[in-house]
């Protein structure tokens, strides 16, 4: 019981997602036409859940403003 994950697997999966988002206009990305924090959290979750066995994703705007998503 406990936490067990492969940093390389998570790094590879997140790198793909970051590359899709970095220096892009979010509402021009398929699935992010309305890029609210809630929609962005779900979009990222859907990308990572398949490849990195994601349990929870959190998107931060600031240290006190964030959105958390655990899948459906």
Residues 15-58: pLDDT tens digits? Answer: 989 999 999 999 999 999 999 989 998 998 888 877 766 777 88
pTM over 0.85, yes/no: no
The residue among 52 and 7 whose pLDDT is bigger is 7
Residue 33: its pLDDT value, please? 95
Residue 27: its pLDDT value, please? 93
Which H/E stretch holds residue 49?
Answer: helix 37-52
Q: Is the pLDDT of residue 64 over 70?
A: yes
pLDDT band, residue 1 (cuts 50/70/90): low
- For residue 65, what are the CA distances in angstroms to 46, 47, 60, 68, 72? 21, 22, 6, 10, 22
């Amino acid at each position: 019981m406990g936490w067990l994950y492969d940093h390389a697997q998570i790094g590879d999966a997140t790198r793909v997602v970051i590359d899709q988002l970095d220096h892009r206009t979010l509402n021009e990305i398929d699935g992010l036409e309305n890029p609210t924090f809630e929609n962005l959290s779900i979009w990222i979750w859907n990308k990572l859940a398949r490849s990195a066995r994601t349990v929870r994703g959190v998107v931060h705007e600031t240290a006190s403003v964030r959105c958390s998503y655990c899948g459906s």
